[in-house]
Copies of this chain bind each other. A is one copy, B any other.
């Protein structure tokens, strides 16, 4: 039977053959997570996704959320699925079991997420915020805050939000104007308006715990005067029961292109002068705390994008196998065939396969770095893991979301006219995934993060660490006759990337700073392409070894598919990447030199 959302064989390949997740079980922290347990967890996620969550996908899109008198309601099916997620412990899988988390390796969670999010990104978007909101409280909150909120958030009985954006302040949080005044009892009274708050209100949980950025009266201007507060929808008594309603109210929800099942709320704080919250950590350190959590949030967005792409690929693949249309391009037989037989469709499918698998490996790799960092007792090693995580995060968010949009877009194309209708889920997947290139820092911000922060940190050490990792794989691939030519191409691309990075880095620190930032997005793209090639080469090495050891039948076809992905991507996509690097290094200044008037339109 056709698989949906994610190919289980593929998931297992990443989990066991590429990263060997069960190796972590020799450490006490992850001792429960043997191979058997890991497989069981993936199976559970898959079953839950297909049986309980996938049926809510279209309902969420068509019915969506409703707003009335300050309250948001979601379809009844969502509440049922939410409760199933509670039962499965899916609200804080990687967090501390002491507070209701599952203590799961991130690698395992990312693969499980592929199923859960791929079944309905809207629902999992709201559910997915709990881990981050809770993590902030766990890491920076007071004992009282933890006691009052944490377990409820980690177990999904309450939900969490991140309330950052205001109407005049999106990418640049330093300008925010929500105000906080300290009360005599040590709490703070907040006034202001937030927009674009995912899950700002809904009826899936009894309480919602908002993490709100605001400026305390008299604090410095800009980003150095921002503090972080816990603002519950309902105040909470010492014994955990709900007390009175706080003055933080949803004033409306956005009509959006997609993600209709996830309420995007405008929130009014203190309209009646009675919104109170408690400070998290120190005053004026809010932005720093938020940024510490940012990598995590950005990688979740990458996981959302991957999940949509993975779903879209399988829908398109299954359709291409069954849809009969037109005779083959060549040959004597003129009978119509399944469209998977047509070269243009094969090109689209293989392109989608390459990106989906490459992105899955990349997000798995980053998650695995997190896990290794946790179990390592070697500080140098820990630092190297962190370096790699830091430099790969803008790729795991920016590049992955851009390519996921491409994959979902291509899925529509495989379906032809049917893909444009809501008879099939691919048009919804494109509408849903489209937000991922925007939120948690637009991809323009990701590109600036790569060029302006991650490259400059430790004098390019992060990039060099990454380069070493890629080089290792290239060197290993060279040992195989079948892969040495491909390895040479990847090495050549890596070499050119190093030149491009150096030139871009120098420019960004010098006179040509504006030109450099003009092409920051292209740098992110080119780096992402090389990283995809790296992942596919890595997969090819594993597959070549298995093939050489004599695997047969369907197993052999799987590995051969890996070799074909690597060949196709490295031979057909990397030349275009080299073109991007040539373009970038030319540092054309036309976009900077052109006057604002010359853009026209006035």
Contacts and interface: CB of A to CB of B under 8 A. Distances in A.
Interface of A: 1-3, 7, 9-10, 165, 168-172, 175, 196, 222, 254-258, 264, 313-314, 317-318, 321, 324-327, 329-330, 334, 336, 340, 342-350, 353, 405, 409, 412-413, 416-417, 419-423, 427, 430-431, 434-435, 437-439, 442-444, 447-448, 452, 513-515, 517-521, 554, 557-558, 560-561, 564-565, 567-568, 571-573, 575-580, 582-583, 586, 588, 590-602
A602 B3 contact: yes
A592 B170 CA distance: 46
B438 A347 contact: no
Nearest to A562: B598
Contacts of A7: 600-601
A264 B417 CA distance: 11
A9 B594 contact: no
Nearest to A10: B600
Contacts of A578: 579, 582
A389 to B, nearest CB: 24
23 contacts: A7-B600, A7-B601, A169-B325, A172-B325, A254-B423, A255-B423, A257-B420, A314-B601, A317-B600, A329-B514, A330-B513, A330-B514, A342-B517, A343-B592, A346-B594, A420-B435, A560-B595, A561-B594, A561-B595, A564-B590, A572-B590, A575-B586, A579-B580
Given A564-B594, A571-B588, A518 B347 contact: yes
A416 B442 contact: yes
Contacts of A572: 519, 583, 586, 588, 590
A579 B583 CA distance: 10
B413 A326 contact: no
A601 B317 contact: yes
A591 B520 contact: no
Given A257-B427, A520-B344, A557 B597 contact: yes
Contact of A444 (B327, B345, B435, B558): B345
A291 to B, nearest CB: 16
A314 B583 CA distance: 26
Given A519-B347, A590-B568, A600-B9, A326 B172 contact: yes
Contacts of A600: 3, 7, 9-10, 317, 353, 558, 561
Contact of A434 (B255, B350, B412, B442): B412
Contacts of A168: 324-325
A594 B565 CA distance: 9
Nearest to A222: B334
Given A255-B422, A573-B583, 9 more contacts: A2-B602, A254-B420, A258-B420, A318-B601, A348-B444, A349-B599, A427-B434, A568-B591, A578-B582
B343 A591 contact: yes
B343 A599 contact: no
Contacts of A422: 254-257
A317 B599 contact: yes
A596 B346 CA distance: 9
Contacts of A597: 554, 557, 561
Contact of A518 (B255, B344, B438, B586): B344
Contact of A561 (B353, B564, B599): B599
A438 B420 contact: yes
Given A321-B596, A438-B413, A431 B575 contact: no
B439 A417 contact: yes
B580 A576 contact: yes
Contacts of A560: 594-595, 598
A113 B461 CA distance: 55
B601 A347 contact: no
B165 A417 contact: yes
A388 B2 CA distance: 46
Nearest to A330: B513
A451 to B, nearest CB: 10
A36 to B, nearest CB: 24
A87 to B, nearest CB: 29
A94 to B, nearest CB: 27
B437 A413 contact: yes
Contacts of A571: 583, 586, 588, 590
A518 B343 contact: yes
Contacts of A175: 325-326, 336
A9 B601 CA distance: 8
A444 B326 CA distance: 13
A582 B579 CA distance: 9
A599 B340 contact: yes
Nearest to A578: B579
Name the residue among A334, A347, A519 with the largest chain B CB count within 10 angstroms: A347
Given A521-B344, A602-B2, A257 B596 contact: no
Contact of A417 (B1, B255, B350, B438): B438
A592 to B, nearest CB: 6
A594 B434 contact: no
Contacts of A577: 579
Contacts of A257: 412, 420-422, 427, 430-431
Contacts of A340: 596, 599
